Structure 1
Amino acid sequence: MNTILFDLDGTLIDSMYVWENSIRHLYDLYHIPSDFEADKPHYFQMTYPEVLQNIQKKFMPQISMKEMIHEAADYIDSEYRYHVPLKPGVKEFIQTQFAQDMDMAVVTSNSTALTETVLNRFDLQKDIARIFSAQDLRLTKREPEIYQMALNYFQTEPQETLMFEDSAYAIDTARQLGIQCIGIVNEDNKSEMEALNVETINDFTQVI
């Protein structure tokens, strides 16, 4: 094993509440005639832009995506800049792997800017060789291209690569290339991880 790929949200950082709260804010702001708690499980299989597109299409086609993103942006940026915590054991694990000359990258659906913001806050940017942002690259983790880009960047093979990820669909995609995966399990994705028959951990204290 010479390369580790990390998802960001829900894997390295405990940030899912940020996205959940921002969507709840939109429900309240635009008086969306639906129960957010009932809709929430449906959103777990989507990226944030996909959730916004779904809301716009179903409930308020008159509101632009630009306006919706603007409404949520200040809250999201503030949380990443000042409040979002690391998952337990993350810093110790990354620093240990860096000391052992492991190549490491973040492969995320989030933006490069927010990823850099939170990594810099925890002094981890120097340990991560590259950020692959599906949002900025206009890709999706449902297709293997972004993972192939990471393999090409490090000039490594899938069987020499390990990925940590909390999204079942992303694990399924990476496995198509032969990348070994460890799922970060939580109450919301437990059944999906079990269906994948993938090795799981609750957090990085289990692999330090």
Structure 2
Amino acid sequence: MNQKNCNRMIDGVIFDVDGTLLDTMPVWHDAGARFLATLGIQAEPGLGDLLFEETVETGAQYLIDHYGLTMSIPEIARGIDEQVEQFYFREADFKPGARKLLQQMYDAEIHLTVATSTHRKCIEAAFDRLGIRELFEGIFTCSEVGATKNSPAIFYAAEDCMQTQPEYTWVFEDGLYAIRTAEAAGFRTVGVYDPVSEKDREEIIRTADFYYESLEDFDLLCGEDGASEAAVISMSGAPGVGTEAAAGVSVCGEGGGRRENES
């Protein structure tokens, strides 16, 4: 793509994975019940809601106390982790519109990275199976960066990989706390709906620059105006909520082509 003489507003995009690109939040919610099922134990109604608010250790202790398990906390934690891993390796799939949007952004030479709280091997396994790993220049995990998304460290790492500036780098997220972190660090933000974040929906709408119920609402369009080309994210069909409204957002500009994948 010829990027000369274009007004760049989006240089790169940092994508969250769980609840944003992939429909994986249910497995985190149901991992305890899945683990109990491997032991032939029927989970109580609402176990997922209870464990979702716990740490791995306190959740494992709950299973020991309420189901009479004789396993150690590390053994239970590993068993739950295995259920999650198997889901990424075998079942994890796109949220509606995610595959199309990623390919369109890649084709428009927008730099793409991932910032995730999930372990790298799970993300890479899912991406390899779904055929999208090569679209990303880097995959950054909270465990490797050494900080949760309450810190902007993971977003800065992704930005540094893409060699972009925060004001021209967009963060796609479904979690309120991560959106707040990215906003405070100067990044542009797009909130994406996920049922797990339903309770924070109104606050996400108020906080993010744009908010969408589905990635299907995005339509990345490429057009030509004389010798210059432009790519825009169309707001057509979107709910039109958030702190900004526009007919489209330019995503092309001056600079070189895509760098080699660094993931």
The match for 2:114 among 106, 113, 117 is 106
What letter matches 1:24 in structure 2?
A
Give how far 1:38 is off. Answer: 7.2
Higher helix share: 1
1:14 aligned residue? 23
The 3 A distance-change label for structure 1 pair 21 and 191 is closer
What letter matches 2:212 in structure 1?
I
Give how far 1:42 is off. Answer: 8.0
Q: Structure 1: how far apart are the matches of 2:20 and 2:49?
A: 19
- Tell which structure's C-alpha radius of gyration is larger: 2
Q: Tell which deviates more after alignment, 119-128 or 188-197.
A: 188-197
* RMSD of aligned residue pairs (Cα, Å): 2.8
* Number of residue equivalences: 202
Q: Structure 1: how far apart are the matches of 2:86 and 2:60?
A: 24
The answer for unaligned runs of 5 or more in structure 1 is none
What SS class does the counterpart of residue 211 from structure 2 fall into? strand
What SS class does the counterpart of residue 189 from structure 1 fall into? helix
Give how far 1:173 is off. Answer: 0.9
1:166 aligned residue? 174
1:4 aligned residue? 13
2:245 aligned residue? none
What letter matches 2:57 in structure 1?
Q
Give how far 1:98 is off. Answer: 0.6
The 3 A distance-change label for structure 1 pair 182 and 82 is same
Matched, 1:132 2:140: yes
What SS class does the counterpart of residue 101 from structure 1 fall into? coil
What letter matches 1:99 in structure 2?
D
Give how far 1:160 is off. Answer: 0.4
Matched, 1:145 2:153: yes
Listed as ranges, the matches of 1:52-201 within 5 Å are 52-56=56-60, 65-196=73-204, 197=206, 198=208, 199-201=210-212
Give how far 1:68 is off. Answer: 2.5
2:33 aligned residue? 24
Q: Tell which deviates more after alignment, 196-205 or 143-152.
A: 196-205
Give how far 1:182 is off. Answer: 1.0
TM norm structure 2: 0.67
